Amino acid sequence: MLYRRLGRTELEVSELAYGAARGASQDPHGFIATVHACIDAGINFIDSAAGYDGGNSERTLGEALAGQDDVLVETKYCPYESYRVGAAYVGDPAELVASAEESLRRLRRDHLDVFLAHGMRTLESLDRFMSDGCYEAMLGLREQGKVRFIGISELSEGDGTHEVLKQAVPSGAFDVVMLTINLMLQTAEETVIPLCGAHDVGTVVMMPLNQSSGRSGLTSLPAALELVRHYIAAGQLPDEPPY
């Protein structure tokens, strides 16, 4: 396994991480076995969120990581009513702190390595997050040692041109960002990634396989071509191949 420095955090993380969003409830033994197989392969960075699988992702991950204190864990608090595009922003500092503390209990840890605001999708909600006490609550958790590093993840379905991250990264407010790069969404490589490099912000890529070909609609060649045309029209793919 190869490892890289995660921006100014100075954490040395494996180039491949494990996204623990699914499977904990359906097959907890398989979930735990997968986590152990990842660790055996040299993966030392695992992503979860308070809302994944009703908290069972974190809960089962905590069981899987018993005695594995050297594995780095990233988890998230969602300041929206749901993960849906268009969901109302409902960020609340007290709820953010409570979410982080619940995550610590479920994960059986005394600190979170990386703590993100989950699915930030509009500049308006980013501005509210920075001014309504939520960001200060994040800083407070970091000062208390409950969180080592803070950041945000985007919601590419609602912000395909990464406007939120293009504003957040240069602000200096965040240590880490989580963004989408895959076959159907490549614009971050020319926009957000250079900004992160310039400002020494750690980057974590999500949905590299677009959460499976079935979700992407790649069930046939005509369907794939139609999807490619859609993303080109949306400005998320270049006009000319190679993609």
* Domain extents in the chain: 3-209, 212-243
Tell me what pLDDT residue 213 has: 44
> Distance between CA atoms of 87 and 121, rounded to whole angstroms?
10
Backbone angles phi, psi at 106, to 5 degrees: -65, -40
pLDDT by 10s per residue, the chain, length 243: 999 999 999 999 999 999 999 899 999 999 999 999 999 999 999 999 999 999 999 999 999 999 999 999 999 999 999 988 889 999 999 999 999 999 999 999 999 999 999 999 999 999 999 999 999 999 999 999 999 999 999 998 888 899 999 999 999 999 999 999 987 788 899 999 999 999 999 999 998 877 544 455 556 667 767 777 776 777 666 666 544
List the structure tokens of 164: 């939120």
Predicted pLDDT of residue 239: 62
Q: Rounded to an integer, what distance in angstroms lies between the CA atom of residue 56 and that of residue 54?
A: 6
Q: Write down the pLDDT at residue 218.
A: 58
Q: Is the dihedral of CA 40, 43, 44, 48 positive or negative?
A: negative
- For residue 119, give the H/E element and its range: strand 112-120
Question: In terms of Cα–Cα distance, which of 111, 106, 90, 89 is closest to 50?
Answer: 106
Phi, psi of 48 (to 5 degrees): -145, -170
**pLDDT at residue 131, rounded to an integer:** 98
Nearest to 179 by CA among 197, 205, 160, 199: 205
- Report the C-alpha gap between 105 and 66 in whole angstroms: 13
Specify the pLDDT at position 232. Answer: 73
Can you name the CATH fold of 3-209? TIM Barrel (3.20.20)
pLDDT value at residue 196: 98
CA distances from 183 to 53, 100, 186 (A): 26, 33, 7
Amino acid at 206: M
Q: How many helices (H) and strands (E) does the chain have?
A: 9, 9
pTM of structure: 0.88
Distance CA 173, CA 42 (A): 30
Strands (E), 121-191: 147-154, 176-180
Q: Which residues, in sequence order, are CB contacts of 101 under 8 Å at separation 6+?
A: 146
pLDDT score at 223: 72
Record the tokens describing residue 205, joined without a space. Answer: 């890529």
Tokens of 115: 């703590």
Residue type, 3: Y
